[in-house]
């Protein structure tokens, strides 16, 4: 199994890179508004978790299939 490599880039650089990737995969990977929301911690809940499965356990259970195919949001919802 290959290890994922993470690089740190500015939000602006990430958006520019994803504008190149988007047409290759036929999708809008991430928008400026989504980046702004992530940077503002809008995806952080102050409520206790409602699920019973730890994300780390789910990752371990699904490691063999993660990343094998791309799921386009545009294709899934609008085409």
Helix (H, G, I), strand (E, B) or coil at 22: helix
The reported pTM is 0.65
Residue 79 has pLDDT above 80, yes or no: no
Residue 4 has pLDDT above 80, yes or no: no
Helices (H), 1-79: 11-25, 32-39, 55-62, 73-78
Confidence of residue 76 (pLDDT cuts 50, 70, 90): confident
Note every long-range contact of 63-68, with CB atoms under 8 Å and residues 24 or more positions apart, other chains counting: 63/1
pLDDT in tens, 24-68: 988 988 999 999 999 999 988 889 989 999 999 999 999 999 888
Confidence of residue 5 (pLDDT cuts 50, 70, 90): confident
């Amino acid at each position: 199994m290959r290890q994922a490599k993470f690089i740190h880039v500015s939000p602006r650089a990430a958006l520019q890179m994803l504008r190149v990737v988007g047409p290759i995969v036929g999708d809008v990977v991430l928008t400026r508004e989504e980046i702004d929301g992530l940077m503002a911690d809008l995806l952080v809940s102050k409520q206790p978790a409602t699920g019973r499965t730890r994300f780390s356990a789910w990752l371990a259970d699904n490691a063999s299939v993660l990343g094998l195919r791309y799921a386009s949001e545009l294709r899934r919802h609008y085409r």
